């Protein structure tokens, strides 16, 4: 995810629809289309994480998100490609409201695919804790190659020392070493068109790791949500974000199927 690159991956929030409940309950909206059949997943194994990078003053947006809190598990907050240069009192209040609603808040930190100065990354992690009381961190633009494993292991160790959890977002399946320490990893982030031709997870990822798998899919039409959710479940995803918004910035609004469908999402 690259919110710094022309806003392409600046996430707004989205949740799934009654179609998701149908899929999570096992009925589906269409035939799943993974290249390789996988074992069935029990209903309820798939939940929702909302990357919510929208200004706190957008009252309609946040009212919609907070009203759906019973169906949400995680919300990622991003004042300015990270915690920002100074405390945002509006975000302090927003985070408090989300927590009061029972939502876990993760602070956004950009890592530049391993190329960002580690001192700057650590500074942002510390600012989330010191300014906003947020210990759980979403490390965006995460590296996937073996050579950066030590760097990210250090980031995660620091997050764990303060009692937080870490989510890495390389957007692909990274080297196996990252699964030794990350709490969750986004192994797919791309438009819907590539979802069914994406790399199949290796067997060890399905059976030999406790790291939670997240998927992020944009441009997904409502009538294909059943297929998307079935594939996510079959690939062992624990959290998912789906929107029908399109490139170049598919995360700048709620999906068209939010308002009337949100209350049917399995919590």
Taking all residues of the chain, what is their mean pLDDT, rounded to a whole number? Answer: 82
User: Pick the residue with more confidence: 150 or 16?
Assistant: 150
* Residue ranges covered by each domain of the chain: 18-25+45-243
Give the pLDDT confidence score for residue 12 in this predicted structure: 36
Q: Is 91 helix (H, G, I), strand (E, B) or coil?
A: helix
Cβ proximity of 250 and 218 under 8 Å:
yes
pLDDT over 60 at 236, yes or no: yes
Give the pLDDT confidence score for residue 33 in this predicted structure: 34
- Backbone phi, then psi, for 180, in 5-degree steps? -75, -20
Q: What angle do CA 130, 9, 173 make, to 5 degrees?
A: 90
Q: Is 140 helix (H, G, I), strand (E, B) or coil?
A: strand
pLDDT over 70 at 260, yes or no: no
Cβ proximity of 261 and 63 under 8 Å:
no
Task: Domain 18-25+45-243: give its CATH architecture.
Answer: Alpha-Beta Barrel (3.20)
Closest to 140 in 3D by CA, of 48, 216, 233:
216
Give the pLDDT confidence score for residue 72 in this predicted structure: 82
Which tens digits make up the pLDDT trace of 206-229?
Answer: 888 899 999 999 999 988 888 888
Closest to 184 in 3D by CA, of 215, 212, 222, 142:
212
Cβ proximity of 138 and 153 under 8 Å:
no
CA distances for 182 relative to 7, 14, 41, 175, angstroms:
26, 24, 23, 12
Residue 13: which pLDDT band, with cuts at 50, 70 and 90? very low
């Amino acid at each position: 995810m690259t919110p710094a690159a022309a806003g392409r991956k600046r996430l707004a929030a989205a949740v799934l629809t009654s179609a998701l409940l149908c899929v999570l309950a096992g009925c589906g909206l269409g035939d799943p289309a993974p290249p390789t059949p996988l074992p069935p997943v029990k209903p309820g194994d798939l939940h929702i994480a909302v990357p919510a990078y929208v200004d706190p003053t957008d009252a309609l947006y946040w009212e919609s998100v907070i009203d759906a809190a019973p169906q949400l598990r995680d919300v990622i907050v991003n004042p300015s490609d990270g915690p920002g240069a100074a405390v945002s009192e509006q975000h302090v209040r927003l985070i408090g409201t989300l927590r009061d609603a029972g939502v876990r808040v993760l602070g956004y930190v950009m890592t530049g695919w391993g190329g960002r100065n580690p001192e700057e990354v650590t500074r942002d992690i510390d600012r989330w804790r010191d300014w906003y009381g947020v210990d759980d961190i979403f490390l965006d633009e995460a590296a996937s190659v073996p050579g950066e494993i030590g760097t990210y292991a250090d980031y995660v160790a620091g997050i764990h020392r303060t009692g937080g959890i870490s989510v890495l977002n390389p957007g692909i399946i990274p080297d196996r070493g990252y699964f030794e320490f990350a709490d969750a990893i986004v192994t797919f982030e791309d438009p819907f068109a590539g979802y069914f031709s994406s790399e199949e997870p290796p067997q060890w990822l399905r059976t030999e790791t406790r790291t939670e798998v997240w998927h992020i899919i944009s441009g997904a039409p409502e009538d294909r949500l059943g297929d998307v959710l079935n594939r996510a479940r079959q690939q062992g995803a624990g959290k998912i974000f789906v929107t029908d918004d399109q490139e170049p910035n598919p995360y700048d609004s709620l999906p068209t199927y939010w308002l009337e469908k949100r209350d049917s999402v399995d919590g």
